[in-house]
Amino acid sequence: MTSPSMDRDIAGLAARQYGVFTRAQVRELGAGRSFIEHRSRAGRWEPVERSVYRLAGVPGSWRQTLLIAVFSWGPGATVSHRSSAKLRGLAGVERELVELTVPVHRRGGCPVVVHRNRLDDLDVIGFEGIQTTTVARTLIDLAAVARVEAVEEALDDALRRNLVSIALVRSRLDDLSGRGGRHGVSIIRRLLDARDGEGIPQSVLETRMLRTLKRGGLPPPAIGYEVRDGGRVIAIADFAFPAQKIAIETDGYRWHSGRARWLNDRSRRNRLTILGWRVIHVTWKDLYEHPDDVVESIRRTLMS
C-alpha cells in the first residue's frame, strides 16, 4: 500500500475514534515501523500516551480523552461508573471524569480513576465508538461511588427514557451481589424497591420534589395520578393525595414549550377546581430556594 493510501486509511480510522488511534491499529492496516516513526517525527502524529497517537491539529475533547484512557489501559479496559453515566447523559452526573474498570491485575495505564474488577461480557457494550458498561451495570456501579441523590436521578432518567427496566437492573444486581463485597448494593436495592411501588417520576424536578416530600416526613403521594370526571381523564397530576383531593404540579410557564401549553394547563386546573381538587404549584425556584416552605405549605393543605 502506498503512503497516501495508508494516510487516508489512518485518517479514516482516526475520524471514527475522535482523532486518536494506537500503534497496534496502524500496524494492522499495514504500517511498518519506519512509517510510524517518520509520521511521528514529522509531527503529523502527536504521541498522547504510550503507543497511542492523535492526528496533528485534531482538538481535544472529553470523549477523546476517554478513548485515549481505554487504549492506554489495554484490552478489557472499559469506561464505567460516573464516566459511563455522563457519556449517556444520565441526570445527576455532571462532571466529565475519566473513570474506567480494568482487569484485576492490569497495571501501567495513564493516570485516571481506575476500578479493578472483572466485567462479564453482558456488562460491556460499544457506545458512541467507546467501550463502556451497559446502563444496568453503570447504575449498579454508580451506587458505589456517587451520592444517593445522584444515583436516584440517574436511575429515574434511565427508566423514563426506557434505557433499562427495573427487572433488568434487579436481575443483574442479584447476579453481582452473589460475588460479595459490593458497595452501594443497599442503595440501589432501596431505590429499585421504591420505584417498583411508587412509579417513576417524569422529570428531574419531579424526582427532586418527591425526595423533598419524603425528607419532610409527608406521606407518600401518588405519582402520575389520573383525575377522572366520570370515565374521562381530565388531568394527570404530577403528584396527588387522592383522599384529600390535593394535586401537586411541578412546572411553570418558563419550563413549558409555549403559551398554548400554559393556557391548556390553566384550563386543566380550572376543571380540577370545579371537581373539588386543590392544586399546589411548585417551581424550580421554590424547590431550590425554599424547600422547607414547600413542605410546610403542602403539610398545612393536607391538614386543612
Across the range 210-226, mean pLDDT stands at 92
Q: pLDDT of 94-107, one tens digit each?
A: 999 999 999 999 98
pLDDT computed for residue 179 by the predictor: 67
d(CA 194, CA 51): 47
Across the range 30-37, mean pLDDT stands at 90
Choose the CATH number for 3-58 among 2.60.120, 1.10.10, 1.10.405, 2.40.128. Answer: 1.10.10
Q: Say if residue 138's pLDDT is above 60.
A: yes
pLDDT computed for residue 209 by the predictor: 93
Which grid coordinates belong to 203? Answer: 422529570
Superfamily of domain 204-303: VSR Endonuclease (3.40.960.10)
Task: Cite the residue boundaries of each domain of the chain with CATH code 3.40.960.10.
Answer: 204-303
Q: pLDDT of 243-261, one tens digit each?
A: 999 999 887 444 444 444 4
pLDDT computed for residue 236 by the predictor: 85
Task: Cite the residue boundaries of each domain of the chain with CATH code 1.10.10.
Answer: 3-58
Cell 475533547 found at? 61
Core vs surface per residue 198-212: b (16+ CB within 10 A) or e:
eebbebbbbbbbbbb
Residue 71's contacts (CB-CB under 8 Å, 6 or more residues apart) are: 20, 22, 49, 51, 52, 77
Measured distance between the N- and C-terminal CA atoms of the chain, rounded to whole angstroms: 83
pLDDT computed for residue 129 by the predictor: 95
Q: Say if residue 181's pLDDT is above 80.
A: no
Across the range 152-156, mean pLDDT stands at 96
pLDDT computed for residue 130 by the predictor: 97
| pLDDT range class, residue 1, cuts 50, 70, 90 | low
d(CA 168, CA 151): 16
